[in-house]
Structure 1
Amino acid sequence: MTYASRKFNRLGKYAFSSILAFGSFCALTQAAHAADPEKVTIMVGGITKLIYLPARLTEQLGYFKAEGLDVELLSQPAGVDAENELLAGAVQAVVGFYDHSIDLQAKGKEVKAIVVFGQVPGEVEMVASKQADTIKSMADVKGKTLGVTGLGSSTNFLTQYLAHLKGIPNSEYTVLPVGADNSFIAAIKQNRIDAGMTTEPTVSQLLKSGDAKVLVDMRSLEGTREALGGTYPASSLYVQSAWLDTHKDAAQKLARAFVHTLQYLHTHTADEIAAQMPKDYYGSDKALYVSALKASLPMYTADGKMPADGPDTVLKVLAGFNPSVKDKHIDLSRTFTNQFVSQVK
């Protein structure tokens, strides 16, 4: 064999080895990418609210990672802001109120709840203690300023409906967006609102300080049925229907993670659950947080499924004051699905 032939063979072997090495590298790279957690960004309409507790608790328990998901939780003070982020494509999912899916369908937008966390709103209409003698029910809000988390938010929907039931049109009171948590408390203390709708643990903080009293309580099934006439599914995980059609595997993983969290909530004490949460959730008064959490535990569903009578009640509430919903045919079957939670053992 000539020198040139031997050299060609050596080069050929080297080239072949290089190709094999490169192929192995590509395979390893592809495998590594396949093993990378799937990124999902979820916007929460007020992440420290107890009604949305499953969002952060699922992260704390490691259930997202167990499903091979890389979930980023973001927070907006009002559900309507979270909804806007979803519609803009900035996030893939929202933890917010189910009623947005009905309101949006009336506006030609399609979103769908795939996990239901709360079978009741968990909302409370609080009246400032200074106004408690003059505002004894929603029939007394004429000429008053009522606080909501944001315009177009679920607190705004519910406020309008409760006033509507008492014969007070929204033209006879003022709605002021004041956010939640500390900003809501400040609005009460600074006399910027006469009453307003908020959730736990803000309710317990206001009751403890004596700055406000309960006017309408929708933290329990009994209170919700009394106020709204039925079960009112509220906090949920919802996504755009178009995204759901092409991301069923991710939706199933999210549903499984959240249902496991709901099961955890029903099999652990308030103290055990609070111990899983970051310290800034309860601050310097952990006892108050635990007390509020204990009172809130019955509102969570055990399986993430939509209550049978829930969608009809929500539609009735929205149609009661919202002409755009009342005048449209709403297909409730397109606003939620139990498909994914039903597959969770």
Structure 2
Amino acid sequence: MNPSRRAFGALSAMVLAGAALRTPSATLAPQLTVAVGGRSTSAFRHLPLTVALQLDFFRQEGLSVSVREFASDALALDAVRQGAAQVCAIGYEHVISPPLGAPEVRSLVLQGRAAQLALGVSTRALPRSNTLADLRGRKVGVDALGSLSHAMALLVLARAGLGPQDVTYVAVGAGASAAAAVRAQRVQALCHGDPVMAQLESKGELRLLSEARTLGGSQAVFGGALPGGCLAAPERFLHQRAADAQALVYGLVHALKWLQTAGPGDLVKAVPAADWQGDRGGYLAAFARVRETISIDGMMPSDGPATALRTMASLHENAQGLEHVNLARTFTHDFARKAKQRFFV
């Protein structure tokens, strides 16, 4: 387990311990486990959840929340299927296009409203490359095949005249393993999220050719508002434990509001040091760039589901059957709307 995962697990334990120390009746508080998928792929996809845990926003709602980390969204969904967690923190794209065998879940609150991804070429492998067309016959790293980064690379390269057969896509994983793949020249380009993209760019190891880490960049790449990370749960949970679902969303939207005005010093105090990956300055700079992509109120943008559906349809292995997806059943505004009214966001 990497330091970031240990820190996040320890953070969850501290939240629960703190609740027990401060509140005599804490043992009577409803217990909830959130399965977190692919957290190390992007430092900011689950930042609101981290903040809500660190600042005790869930405890303030009378809810004891613990987290379990998984290497991918697919594994987080599987944890919900097996009953090891009631809620999952995943990319919305996996709500509308779940892996084979995954349970049907519904997004109840958004954490992000953009992809928070970028695509760049290795300055060592392709020192004179300034166009995407130069990637013909090359290897492009993505965090996982079938992921949003894979879909983004397909879309961007298609506009440069390159089809799926013109490049080889390689799953490079998250964080350090993705950076290592670039440095070892196992891939000549990388489509990934921060902090790895920010670190490689700042060191001159990557030259960015496509940007979706801002609202404008994401709009340009995907042709509409693209929902990012979300908290999702099966319909049965939303009905049987509606009060707990609402408390969870209250805590998360509280964190969203906090993030809108938090300064660098506030963020440093609220985020485990392991999340900086040894570069606090780089982390804060990357946060400043993606800050606008963090959801303001947890609500789903009106064109978000359709944009996500078009994006995932670009992945050939996932395209079949997506035309039958009932987008209205992939999310609910019931909980986020109440939180929006309560926190005036």
Same fold (TM over 0.5): yes
Structure 1 residue corresponding to 2:196, chosen from 202, 216, 228:
202
State the distance in 2 between where 1:301 and 1:294 align: 14
Instruction: Verify the 8 A CA contact 2:110 2:229 in the aligned structure 1.
Output: yes
Structure 2 residue corresponding to 1:343, chosen from 308, 320, 338:
338
Instruction: State the match for 2:267 in structure 1.
Output: 273
Structure 2 residue corresponding to 1:42, chosen from 22, 35, 39:
35
Structure 2, gaps ≥5 residues long: 1-23
The amino acid across from 1:41 in the alignment is V
Deviations 1:93-151 (A, max 9, x none): 22221111111399895211111111110011122112445654444433221212222
Q: Equivalent residue of 1:51, what SS?
A: coil
Instruction: Verify the 8 A CA contact 1:124 1:199 in the aligned structure 2.
Output: yes
Asked whether 1:163 is paired with 2:145, we answer no
Asked whether 1:148 is paired with 2:142, we answer yes
CA 1:78 to 1:213, structure 2 compared with 1: closer, same or farther past 3 Å? farther
Higher Rg of the two aligned structures: 1
Instruction: Verify the 8 A CA contact 2:81 2:102 in the aligned structure 1.
Output: no
Instruction: State the match for 2:232 in structure 1.
Output: 238
Q: Equivalent residue of 1:157, what SS?
A: helix
State the distance in 1 between where 2:308 and 2:287 align: 25
The amino acid across from 1:56 in the alignment is T
Between 253-262 and 79-88, the greater mean CA deviation after superposition: 79-88
Deviations 1:197-239 (A, max 9, x none): 2212222211122211212110111111211111111111112
Instruction: Verify the 8 A CA contact 1:126 1:197 in the aligned structure 2.
Output: yes
Structure 1, gaps ≥5 residues long: 1-30
Question: How many positions carry a matched residue from both structures?
Answer: 315
State the distance in 1 between where 2:79 and 2:162 align: 32
Identity of aligned pairs, percent? Answer: 26
Structure 2 residue corresponding to 1:263, chosen from 257, 260, 266:
257
CA 1:147 to 1:321, structure 2 compared with 1: closer, same or farther past 3 Å? same
Q: Equivalent residue of 1:120, what SS?
A: coil
CA 1:240 to 1:92, structure 2 compared with 1: closer, same or farther past 3 Å? same
Asked whether 1:53 is paired with 2:44, we answer no
State the distance in 2 between where 1:178 and 1:321 align: 18
Please provide the CA RMSD for this pair. 2.5
Q: Equivalent residue of 1:230, what SS?
A: coil
Instruction: State the match for 2:90 in structure 1.
Output: 96
The amino acid across from 2:273 in the alignment is K
Instruction: Verify the 8 A CA contact 1:44 1:52 in the aligned structure 2.
Output: no
